[in-house]
Amino acid sequence: MVDQSAYEVGSTRRVITLFFGDTHGGHKLGLLNPLVTLFDLDERGNRVPYHPELTSVQRYLWSCFQEDLGEVEEIADGDEIIVIHVGDLGHGTKYTEQLVSTRPADQVLIAVGNMEPTLNLPNVKRMRIIHGTQAHTFGESTIPIITAGFLDAKYSNVDVSSLAHGLFEVDGLEIDCAHHGPSPGIRTWTTGNRLRLYVRSVMQDSLENGEDPPGVFIRSHYHTGIHETVRRETNRGHFKTEAFILPSYCGLSEYAQQATRSKYLISNGMLALVIEGGELVEYYKLWRSVDLRTRESL
């Protein structure tokens, strides 16, 4: 809940709410801050600091991440920024192939390093980290809980915490935000159908509970950027929810290739919402697609 006491009566506050997720820190295809410091051991068992070498995918992702944060800073133009990571901050050790390190502490250090550039944006006051998938957190939401606690202690001017499922209110605009949700669909002509039906159900639940549906609906997990506008006409009035499934900052592993049946288009990036006076006035889908197929003339 936002404290309005700091604002004059009648003033209109402008807030930028930044969403991104599926960074999968700790995987060689996940986001990796090149400045992060990890530790190896020498022959006496003493810690030796080093910076892990980025893979070509990580160099690409970090370039995208920096470019997107620059766009967000321009969009904000000095106004307040709220940062929300929508889950799978780390990769965990259930799928051990291509890990940067098998040491759990290293994944936490990478997760912290990936989040710090967002906290260095001007006028960031709040950060929330959604817990994500158990297989990618060392269980019981370990990585997001530790990361949020560390950042909250280090950045005393920013309110940082983690949670499983948020119903965030920004000056009256409600945002339903969690990691898991509907899939984007398996056919081009059905893309968005499941998202629309899922959100219609959420809207119906809200109305039956005597509440207004959330104005914004955010999910991630499927590493694919999708946007749908869902409307409901009722005897209480007209309601509209802007619904998004977020892209990732992660490449496609062999396991993911199998799970997605050889998906060849992936999207990477973030979402920035511009909220003025409790109304969503603009949104910026800062994401791009990559074709993973190898083209050859035979």
| 134: amino acid identity, one letter | Q
pLDDT tens digit sequence for 24-71: 999 999 999 999 999 998 899 899 999 999 999 999 999 999 999 999
Task: Determine the Cα–Cα distance for residues 127 and 120; give it in Å rounded to an integer.
Answer: 12
pTM metric for this prediction:
0.93
**12-290 belongs to CATH 3.40.50.300:** no
DSSP 262: S
What is the percent of the chain with per-residue pLDDT over 90, rounded to a whole number?
83
DSSP-derived secondary structure for 152-221: HHH-TTSEEEEESEEEEEETTEEEEEES------SSGGGTTHHHHHHHHHHHHHHHHTT-PPPSEEEE-S
